[in-house]
Amino acid sequence: MSPQHFFLTITLQQAFFGQLCVMEGTVTYYGFANEDAKEPEVKSGD
């Protein structure tokens, strides 16, 4: 996964903080434009 894609595309509401912990395997991040989008704009992790 490209860290720059991850940090540039994730948006959280104010005062919310995310944490990602992967013990093993692969993480694939899908970035959608909004809650109604059917196809991701960004896919990282391949």
Q: What is the pLDDT of residue 1?
A: 47
Q: What is the pLDDT of residue 18?
A: 66
Q: Where are the domains of the chain?
A: 1-46
Residue 3 DSSP one-character state: H
Q: What is the pLDDT of residue 16?
A: 64
Tell me the helix, strand and coil percentages in the chain, rounded to 5: 15, 15, 70
**Mean pLDDT by groups of 10 residues along the chain of 46 residues:** 57 66 83 85 74
